[in-house]
Every structure is written in C-alpha cells, then in structure tokens.
Amino acid sequence: MIQKSKILQELPPQFFAHLVQQVNQKIAEGQDVINLGQGNPDQPTPSGIIETLQQAVENPLNHKYSQFRGNQFFKQAAADFYLEHYGVTLDPETEIAVMGGSKIGLVELPLALLNPGDRLLLPDPGYPDYLSGVVLAQIEKELLPLLPENGYLPDYETVDKEKLEQAKLLFLNYPNNPTGAQATSEFFDQTVSFAKEHEIAVVHDFAYGALGTNEEAPVSFLQSSGAKEVGVELYTLSKTYNMAGWRIAFAAGNAEIIEAINIIQDHLFVGLFPALQEAGAYALKSNEKVDELVALYNRRRKAFVEAAAQIGWQAYPSTGAFYAWMPVPKGYTSRSFAEFLLNEVAVAVAPGNGFGDGGEGYVRVGLLVEEERLQEAIARIATLNLTF
C-alpha cells in the first residue's frame, strides 16, 4: 500500500478548498448564494494584456524551453515598474527573480533560507498558505499577534526574546489579508531596524500593492532606507491586473535572497512561459485600467460598509486590498457565524479563524461582486435580526 510521506501528512488542510466546497454544495442545491468568501478577482483581464499574449503565443521562438531565470525584458519591466511607482532602483539581473505566482515564492523561501529547526515569524491573522512553507521546510514558527488597537501591525517589542534569537525570517503582508489594514512608512523603517538588530531576513508579501485609496496609497517595503539590505518584496500581477489565473509574479530586493530563490527554482522549475512574460511586461508598462479597478473596489467598499452600518454592523476601518473585516455578533464564533449565514440566507463569508487564532471573532468579506449584490447580502442578513 502506498502511503503519503510524513511531510505531506503534516501539511495543513487547504482552507479555501473547504470553503469553495461548502459554497458549491449550496449552489448545487439550487440556492442563490452571494459568495463573499472568495479572494478571486471578478473583473476580466484588460484587453491589451490578452492581445499581447495572443500575439506572443504565435511566435515560434516562445515555443522552446523557457530560460531558467526569466527573460531579461520581463525583469527590466519589473525594475522599471518599481522605479516609476515607488522610486526604488533595482538591478534587473541580480535584484529581480521571476516566479510562477507569488505563492510559489512564499513556500520556497523557507526552504531556500532556513534550516530544519530555525524559526519563522508569521503574522496572526495571516494568509493560511504561509504555514505550508513551515511544514515543507521542517522549521518552527512564532506567531506575531496583529491587533486592531495597533492597526493590525505587529509590536516587535512583545516578541519572546528567546524565540527571537532563533528567528531567521519574518513574513509581512500589507495591505493585509484578511484585515485590509495598511502599513506606514514609519512601520517599515522600524522593521528594517528590527531586522538588522536581530539578523532576520524580511519577506514582504505585496500582493495587494495597488489596492488602496487616493488618500492612502499602499507603501512599498523597499521604499524604506536599508530595506534591500535585509529583505525582498513579492509582487504578483494577480490583483493589480486581474491576472489571478495567469500565475505571474516576481520578487524584488536583496540580491542574496534573489539568488537563493533562483537556485531553488533552478531545481524545481524550468521557467515561466515566455509568452506569459511578454504579457506581464506589457501589463507592468501599461498599467492598463488599474485606476478604474481601484475606484471600483472603493465604491464597493463604501456601498457595503455603509449598508452594514445601517443594521449596526460596523466594519474595521480598512483602506487596502479588496476585503471588509467584520466582527461577529455576540454568541457566535467566526466559524459558526459563517455557517449560519450560509445556511440561513445563502451569504458566504470567510471565517476569520481560518487565517489563524488571531482572526477569531471576525469574518472576511470579499468585495468581489457588484454593489447591488453586496447591498442585497446586507438586506438578507438584516432579516436575521442579529445584535452586533
């Protein structure tokens, strides 16, 4: 009998897969589910990106094996993007690594930088797939509580000193999933000092880097002085350009970490299909429809938050990503409330404890349906006469 390896058996269950299964079951039963539990962009990829891919696919030169470490033109486009939008200068050959989606980098980096028994500092609540890298690399984790009273930023002064000595890597994610909280330049400056003092490498997951407001645009970690000395930032095209299924991303920053990513990818992959890289380079250069997309999410946020407030349901005042972070009513846990909404009014939300114990007491609402559907979801919830 063939058995799974011990490592595979230790991997956490895929949180989002279970959520999708529950929603699909209700839809199969004929219910009109308003799915606010997903994190999948609902808008189409801009037409210029699609046309670029179509033309690139027809080029026979793109049908050969890809270059191991990505094509120069894509890495140059990534470096130009950072200079234009964040004022950060990057060497495209030594400070950019091409990845087939940022999740790959997040799981690879513990394998590339840590030894079994080393410790990774993780945000709580945080993206569930960070835990996959912990198991695969056979390392230890230390959770950093993210609290609303601190703007969902970690307080480095509270980290256990003994465990801090074992820490070699820190993951951060702003704008934050699941809370939508944003980081400040001052916080990233503090992070650089913290990393230097304790000799900890930093990985900033900048998946929602384009999604803020006109008043509060997201800040890049690499904009802080000395950031490239201690860490990298992972940027995905999934959210900025509605390219979630295309699986295109890059890491930017510290040359030693970039080389570590490249080495592990030399062994795990060949490279990203060059036609995809051409489309990605076009996206980074054109920034097609990004302003429209940001405005759309902010209209949806306003519509949902205002409708929720009318029934006494007050959102955490987030300004980033495309989520609303909502407290559960008294008498419910995150999971029981999410199940109650799905069963009673066919509204799907993501329970906050799926993102760690620090998410207990909240649910995550994805602003990934039209405004009318968001308002309808609140109207359905209003019929339950809950006390928030």
For residue 230, the model assigns a pLDDT of 98
The pLDDT, as a whole number, for residue 29 is 94
Q: Which amino acid is it at 185? A: S
Domains and CATH numbers, the chain: 6-45+290-382 (3.90.1150.10), 47-286 (3.40.640.10)
Contact 345, 360 (CB under 8 A): no
Q: What is the 3-state secondary structure (H, E, C) of 228-267?
A: HHHEEEEEEHHHHCCCHHHCCEEEEECHHHHHHHHHHHHH
Per residue in 278-310, pLDDT tens? 999 999 999 999 999 999 999 999 999 999 999
Per-residue model confidence (pLDDT) at position 364:
98
Kindly report, residue by residue over 180-235, the tens digit of the pLDDT: 999 999 999 999 999 999 999 999 999 999 999 989 999 999 999 999 999 999 99
**pLDDT tens per residue across span 341-350:** 999 999 999 9
**From residue 97, how far is each of 7, 105, 175, 179 by CA, in Å?**
27, 9, 22, 28
Q: What are 303's two structure tokens?
A: 């519509």
> Would you state the pLDDT for residue 14?
76
Q: Which of 258, 240, 211 lies closest to 94, judged by CA?
A: 258
Of the candidates 333, 330, 370, which has an alpha carbon nearest to the alpha carbon of residue 352? 333
Average pLDDT over every residue of 135-162: 96
- Contact between 78 and 96 under an 8 Å Cβ cutoff? The reply is yes
The band of 371, judged by pLDDT with boundaries at 50, 70 and 90, is very high
Residue 16 clears pLDDT 90, i.e. is over it? no
Share of the chain above pLDDT 70, in %: 100
pLDDT at position 214, please?
Answer: 87
Q: What is the pLDDT of residue 19?
A: 81
Does 15 score more than 90 pLDDT?
A: no
What tokens appear for 361 in the block? Answer: 């007491």
Q: Cβ neighbours of residue 143 under 8 Å, at least 6 residues apart?
A: 122, 123, 124, 356, 357, 358
pLDDT at 381 over 80: yes
pLDDT tens across 332-342, in order? 999 999 999 99
pTM of model > 0.85? yes
Closest among 200, 254, 374, 249 to 302, alpha carbons compared: 374
- Cβ contacts of residue 90 below 8 Å, gap of 6+? 78, 79, 82, 83, 96, 222, 252, 253
Position 62, amino acid? N
pLDDT at 17: 79
